[in-house]
Structure 1
Amino acid sequence: MKSNHFTMNISGINIFYEFHHDADSTIASKPTLVLIHGFLSSSFSFRRLIPLLTKEYTVLAIDLPPFGKSEKSKKFVYSYENLAKVVMELLSELGIEKTVLIGHSMGGQICLNISRQKPELVEKVVLLCSSGYLKKLKRALVYSSRIPYFYLYLKYWLAKKGAIQNLLNVVHDHSLIDDEMIAGYTEPFYDDRIFHALTRMIRDREGDLASEILRNINTPSLLIWGEEDKVVPIEIGRRLHRDLPNSQLITYKNTGHLLPEEKPQHVYDNIMEFLQTTS
């Protein structure tokens, strides 16, 4: 598998992304799979899924700002609509005219935003424990985020929860949690600039797409869920399945929120079957 790591300035912010592909020339005729991670995560969360997907497809994994290795700007607008536009602009700069989007958690909302804004770009969508139906944060918290040094409170709150406790919450099989996993999910938060950016994100995040909007997204969609997901409960998956008119839902028992880490082979098999089925 060939991997290349790059940074490109998109809409005034530096975006880190990875290209992964095998040398098989037949891959060139297939759509590029675009992986979009969740909140407080990065493309690291797809590390077990990427080697499987690159057997058949070229894979583009993106670190959404301010996460992972992408820039942590105080000036960028961290709305889902704008994050979707950044992804679309990156795809345009890379000459990708047709894609399959694979989004985990918050990344699922970015995928749905792209499908809404530019449906002709998206051949299919895979939603892995996608966030759904979250409202804009309460006004009191939005106002509080404007207090000087609020970012220090945010840093303290996240540190108090701790990386291990967060992983225990998102992974059903705790035996999977090792030093590599802990380090991979903790490293981006050694840079204090992320807390400034997250403070801005509190103000910018507009909430998830409403049912009336979802019902007009006709992109073929595969929803995959862990039945023990504590972050985005299975009921959200069932509701999204009802609202998205061209969707199917698959659930796994004894599986939590971090699907790409917990069930990479199962997810890969489901994605391959979905992609090879004519809509």
Structure 2
Amino acid sequence: MTAHVATALGLEAQNYARRWLKCGEIAVATLRDGTRIRYVRVGRGPNLVLTHTVRTQLDLFQRVIPLLSPHFTVYALDLPGFGWSDLRPDAPKDEPTLRAALKDFIATLGIERPILAGESIGATLSLSLAAEVGDAVERVFAFNTYDYLPGLERSNLLASIIIKSVRAPVVGPVFAALENRAITGGIMNGGFHDPRSLPSDLLDEYGRVGGRAGYSKAARTLLKALPSFVAARARYRAITAPVTLVWGDKDWSTLRDRAGVEAAVPAPDVITLERTGHFSALERSQTWADIILAATAAAKATAIR
């Protein structure tokens, strides 16, 4: 196991998480390239690594982690350029770069044979990393993979206008500078069947994070790199770990998008959640946890026989 000494975080990066994380560790892992990654670690049992969606951070899993931590050692991280991890606005945010960071995070903390569970780009990264490392991953749960275009633009009209503006050479920087609570909330509401599932105080936290110097530029870099997540689908055929694909019936993906993923992954289990949008970890947290618990329990029972 790799030796790692956790680094304490400043209060600003801990305050919100401590509202919902009553016990456990909130700390920083430093990757090989010097990038500092905020993460939480809580619970005991098999290792489970949670990876978040576009524009969010580990707090996306605030309703899921308390349900899973009695059964797993749960790790959740802010990917580079998200949440309270290092921004480095000019650094690449493409799928291979973020996948390498996720792999390095797991190695830095000495997390052995993790179960990977992710939402959106977190699901795509979990699948592509499993394809890369083979048996070093126990299992993958991929909720609403984001490996198609357009994606976020389907959220609502506001999202379509903002995301298209990002690609414009002059207008893009102007719109990106409008990173604020109203715009973020307006876009994210399109990712829920019931927008009331988005906690108001979490939206406040996204606003605080969005105000960090360089955050808008980092977000713009990611949005321009989304085609690399589409390309990642070609990697899925190399996955050897068991995979469960989960879709919200109101997710941004079309039936054709979903069929493409299901055909690319070797023999996945497929689940569709009713009355559920893209941010299913918030909207269907109990079901999210139940899916992971049921599949891992069934696998354990099979192994014992």
Segment drifting more, 198-207 vs 55-64: 198-207
What corresponds to 1:15 in structure 2?
37
Q: Does 1:271 align with 2:292?
A: yes
Q: Which runs of 5+ in 2 are unaligned?
A: 1-21, 151-163
Map residues 137-216 of structure 1 onto 2, 5 A cutoff: 151-156=173-178, 158-159=179-180, 162-202=183-223, 204-205=225-226, 206-209=228-231, 212-216=234-238
How far off is 1:167 after superposition?
3.0
Gaps of at least 5 residues in structure 1 are none
Cα drift, residue 2 of structure 1: 2.9
**Would the alpha carbon gap of residues 267 and 160 (structure 1) be closer, same or farther in structure 2, given more than 3 Å must change?**
closer
Does structure 1 conserve the Cα–Cα contact (< 8 Å) formed by 2:27 and 2:39? yes
Contact 2:165–2:172, Cα closer than 8 Å, also in 1: no
Residue 66, structure 1, aligned to residue 81, structure 2: yes
Of Structure 1 and Structure 2, the greater strand share is in: 1
Contact 1:227–1:233 (8 Å) recurs in 2: no
Cα distance in structure 2, aligned partners of 1:35 and 1:211: 20
Q: Which one of 95, 99, 106 corresponds to residue 80 of structure 1?
A: 95
Question: What does the per-residue CA deviation read over 1:185-229, in whole Å, with 9 as the maximum and x for residues that have no partner?
Answer: 333101131112223335555232355432232321111111012
| Secondary structure in structure 2 of the residue aligned to 1:207 | helix
What residue is the counterpart of 2:275 in the other structure?
Answer: 254
Matching of residues 108-147 of structure 1 within 5 Å? 108-134=123-149
The one-letter amino acid of 1:13's match is T
Q: Partners of 1:38 and 1:60 in 2: how far apart?
A: 15
Amino acid at match of 1:128: F
Counterpart CA distance in 2 for 1:129 and 1:143 is 24
Matched, 1:50 2:65: yes
Q: How many residues end up aligned between the 2 structures? A: 265
1:119–1:142 CA distance, 2 compared to 1 (3 A): farther
What residue in structure 2 maps to residue 241 of structure 1? Answer: 262
Seen in structure 2, the aligned counterparts of structure 1 residues 141 and 186 have a Cα distance that, compared at 3 Å, is closer
Q: Secondary structure at the match of 2:116?
A: strand
Could you tell me how far apart the structure 1 residues matched to 2:40 and 2:85 are?
A: 11
TM-score (norm 1): 0.84
Cα distance 1:150–1:209, how it changes in 2: closer, same or farther (>3 A)?
A: closer
Could you tell me the TM-score, scaled by structure 2's length?
0.78
Deviations 1:120-174 (A, max 9, x none): 3211100111112348xxxx989856x7x95443223x55971331232011113
SS of 1:196's partner is helix
Query: Judging changes above 3 Å, is the alpha-carbon distance between structure 1 residues 178 and 33 closer, same or farther for their aligned structure 2 residues?
Result: closer
In angstroms, what is the RMSD of aligned CA positions? 2.7
Deviation at 1:178, TM superposition (A): 4.1
Q: Which secondary structure does the structure 2 equivalent of 1:170 belong to? A: coil
**Cα distance in 1 for residues equivalent to 2:188 and 2:247:** 17
Partners of 2:135 and 2:241 within 8 A in 1 = no
Query: Does residue 90 of the first structure (1) align with residue 105 of the second (2)?
Result: yes
Aligned-pair distance for 1:57?
Answer: 0.4
